[in-house]
Structure 1
Amino acid sequence: MKKIFRACLFTVAMLTGYTTYAQQPAANTLREGKHNLTLQWVSWERPGKVMISKQKDGTYSVKGEQRDEKTGDFVTIDGALTVVSPKELTFNGTIRTQYSNVNQGKVCEKTGTYHFLAKGARKYWRLQEMDNCEGNNVVDYVDIYF
């Protein structure tokens, strides 16, 4: 009886195309929609938002900001993400940060190709080229959350 039951389950699975993997997203895909965005100078408690949308070429557009209404400090991001792996993204575009106590309050603009990694158990990808335009070992933690 058990053999017949297993054979029936196997037949149903084959006919419907169901596998245990069918429910899982492909390894090189991102969840489309709104994601949190933070820059440590602005706030980790009040994240901004980015919109991630899949493009026809397989990359993902990403655009959004986090802004402190009181101080005017901010981070903005606008460009394209390529999924290297679930924990690694390549970004091509522009990231702008401004914090009143860093870089003499001037905007730090980075345009080009950059890398985001999710290390360990983190639930976000962090910009790896994190040096602020000021130099002096000042870094910007720009994070995009899963």
Structure 2
Amino acid sequence: MRSAQRTAAGRGGYIGPTALRCILPGISAFLLSVLLAGCAAQGLEDYEPSVNPPGSAVPQTPLPQPLPTASPSTTSGAQDPAIAPTTIRDRTAARRLRENSGVTLQWIGWDQRGFARVTVGDDGVYRLNAAQPSFDGVGGMSLSGVVTEIGSDYFLFDGRIVIVGTPDAERYCADNRLWRFGVTQNRKYWRLREFEWCDELTDYIDIYF
């Protein structure tokens, strides 16, 4: 027993049983800390951070998309509650407007009329969409909006008028407002009464009946 204790002590000399009982717990704690430190170091060596290579795209989490909503044209019987029904002061004139025979802008020509489509919704609103393309396929004229009032020799149009590329290729006119179309001298068309609404040129926009 003493020889084993001397061998374990090495150069430190003889270690008694009481001393061994005091030293062994400390040695065990030290060895445990060394082992844990080694494991931790090995874990750091094996760890590879998830970093994208330079220049690669960083994956993004897709944002939630809004639910689709139905457009007014696809909703059964849907009408815009903000638009009042068209005021009809002359039913014969209202019928003529619904059954019109086209639209022209003098810069494009009178020989080949464009279309002027008038529809009446369940809400009693007259809607007007018209267009006349230029013969060369570049530019043209268009109207889009609602008719707010129809009289015996006039109607009021609340909407947008656009003229593009006529009579000059670089010309562009567009405005959204309340317009007046009127019949004068018993002619068979309503003519826009704002003649120089865009620039110094005079525009004759006519809708025929």
TM-score by length of 1: 0.71
Does the alignment pair 1:120 with 2:203? no
Deviation of the 1:28 alpha carbon:
5.7
Query: Corresponding residue for 2:194?
Result: 129
Taking the aligned partners of 2:125 and 2:111, their CA distance within structure 1 comes to 29
| TM-score between the two structures when normalised by the length of structure 2 | 0.51
CA positional deviation for 1:129? 0.9
Aligned to 1:88: 154
Cα deviations by residue, 1:21-41 (Å, 9 ceiling, x for unpaired): xxxx83462342563010000
Higher helix share: 2
1:38 aligns with 2:104: yes
Q: CA RMSD in A?
A: 2.2
- Residue segments in structure 2 that go unaligned for 5+ positions in a row: 1-89
Alignment of 1:50-69 (within 5 A): 50-69=116-135
- Give the ranges of 4+ consecutive aligned residues of structure 1 lying more than 6 Å apart after TM superposition: none
Name the larger-Rg structure.
2
Amino acid at match of 2:172: V
Structure 1 gaps of 5+ residues are 1-24
Give the letter aligned to residue 182 of structure 2: L
Q: Percent identity?
A: 27
| Alpha carbons 2:93, 2:153 under 8 Å: kept | no
Equivalence map 1:2-81=2 (5 Å): 26-27=91-92, 29-31=94-96, 32-33=98-99, 35-81=101-147
Q: Secondary structure at the match of 1:30?
A: helix
Please state whether the residue corresponding to 2:161 is helix, strand or coil: strand
Paired residues, number? 119
- Is 1:111 the equivalent of 2:176? yes
Q: CA deviation at 1:106?
A: 2.4
Normalized per residue, the structure richer in strand is 1
Q: Does the Cα contact within 8 Å between 2:108 and 2:166 map onto a contact in 1?
A: no
SS in structure 2 of the partner of residue 109 of structure 1: strand
